[in-house]
Amino acid sequence: MRTVRFITWLSVLLALALTASAQDTAEETALERGKAVYDEWCIICHGENDPASGGGTAALEFLYQGALPAKLEDRSDMTPELITELVRRGRFGMPNFRLTEISEQQLDDMIAYLRRDSGDVGDANDSGD
């Protein structure tokens, strides 16, 4: 009986470990996918404030005057709603992006990536399959 109980507990622990590991992997994958979307569509304006940039980081630097990080990847305060609004509606010369450019799943992944330091991973565990 004791042996059975031990095996049961072992199975539960193993299952929990596997679940946690699967979640970690799914989360990591979502973040990687989110970064890839960000790199493809956003970084040309919102990456380093370099001379090839479309000026997003420079514009935010000018606007915030140091009150907030100008690089979006350095921020953890942007809500999913705000990110969605900016991507889908654009703002101050930044154009919006359609579903044929950034799909809903890609947007979710990117939100997870931009909020990776917020303490709330939101839907990042969604594998997107």
Q: List residues near other proteins by CB under 8 A.
A: 44-45, 51-56, 58-59, 62-63, 88-101
Smallest gap from residue 75 Cβ to other proteins (A) = 17
Note whether 46 and 72 are within 8 A (CB).
yes
33/46 with CB nearer other proteins:
46
Give the residue from 35, 6, 51, 58 showing the smallest Cα distance to 110.
Answer: 35
5/92 with CB nearer other proteins:
92
Distance CA(32)–CA(38), nearest Å, equals: 10
Smallest gap from residue 104 Cβ to other proteins (A) = 9
Taking residue 58's Cβ as centre, other Cβ atoms within 10 Å add up to 15
Smallest gap from residue 125 Cβ to other proteins (A) = 23
Look at the block and give the residue holding tokens 């450019």: 101
31/37 with CB nearer other proteins:
37
